[in-house]
A = this chain, B = another copy of it.
Amino acid sequence: LSPVCVIGLGAMGYGAALSLLRAGFDVHGVDLRADLRQRFAEVGGKAMSNPAEGARGCQAVLIFVVNAAQTEAVLFASDGAVGVLADGSVVVACATIAPNDAVRIAATLAKRGLFMLDAPVSGGAAKAASGEMTVMAAGDDEAFEKAGPLLNAIAARVYRLGSKPGAGSRMKLINQHLAGIHLAAAAEAVALATCAGLDLRTVHDVISHSAGTSWMFQNRVAHLVNNDSSAGSAVDIFVKDLALVLDAANSWNFPAPLGAAAHQLFKAASARGLGRENDIAIVKLYPGGESAAATRSR
């Protein structure tokens, strides 16, 4: 199966590529950003800027870009990976995308004789780097068979959600619905705690050991109090992901008041110019939030 191509070397893609290197694969890493290519080259990867170049000679491509448009571009554009992939190769689509997009992309790939796994991931940058992501995957048995050694290298858990692409992306939307609400709730809670005169380090410790805890609270409030900048992605990622959640909910006539409220908060933060900041920057929407956000520099 070697070489294998990883497209997108952000936090999750870089972690996956690193895990594949560690497992002994020859890894082609593709990214438009020179700084991300350099980081990858420094740990022994082959870094490239063009999907077709990266996919040449590979029977498997893992895609860790931001959305469906980018996923389709790196596959189907004039310099896309699909043009150079041999029949029967497998595409592992790991971006958070709409379930309908996953279904459509899989169908297009199938027409070209390629397999696809609809395989979004979760777990954060640290688990990605240690090869312990969670993968929520759906696709043909053949796709699972071909991608198996790769998934084992990057993931602690691979959930098989059936043979139909779309199920992986639907599960990922449930995860993002919760993650987005929990992140906004963590911001609201730490700002409230600041107004209540409580010390944030103590709040992080107490809540982490109480019924009010969440993965997001533990991870992102640690970011605030310990200056752990490895945690978190950007505010705009949740603007995008919660929009996907609400689009899907709308298509099922499902009212999601909490998901919608969290989405409004991320959009408000983005409108304030915080879109590219770490996602916990939405705490700055709240009274006491600027102070809470500055905890780490004290």
Contact = CB atoms under 8 A, between A and B. Distances in A.
A173 B159 contact: no
A294 interface: no
A76 interface: no
Contacts of A156: 209
Interface string A227-271: 000000000000000000100110011111111011011000000
Interface string A208-231: 011111111101000000000000
Contacts of A210: 122-123, 134, 136, 175, 179, 215
A217 B174 CA distance: 12
A281 interface: no
A188 interface: yes
A40 to B, nearest CB: 23
Contact of A178 (B157, B189, B288): B189
Interface in A165-221: 167, 170-171, 173-179, 181-182, 184-186, 188-189, 191-193, 195-198, 202-203, 205-207, 209-217, 219
A171 B198 contact: yes
A84 to B, nearest CB: 33
Nearest to A193: B174
B216 A211 contact: yes
A214 B179 CA distance: 9
A213 B178 contact: yes
State the copy count for this chain: 2
Contacts of A191: 254
A250 B211 CA distance: 24
The winner among A173, A254, A259 for most chain B CB atoms within 10 A is: A254
Interface of A: 99, 122-124, 134, 136, 156-157, 159, 161, 167, 170-171, 173-179, 181-182, 184-186, 188-189, 191-193, 195-198, 202-203, 205-207, 209-217, 219, 245, 248-249, 252-259, 261-262, 264-265, 286-288
25 contacts: A159-B202, A167-B197, A171-B202, A175-B210, A175-B211, A175-B212, A177-B185, A178-B185, A178-B212, A182-B214, A184-B258, A188-B256, A191-B254, A195-B252, A196-B252, A211-B219, A212-B215, A213-B214, A214-B214, A214-B217, A255-B287, A257-B261, A258-B258, A258-B261, A258-B265
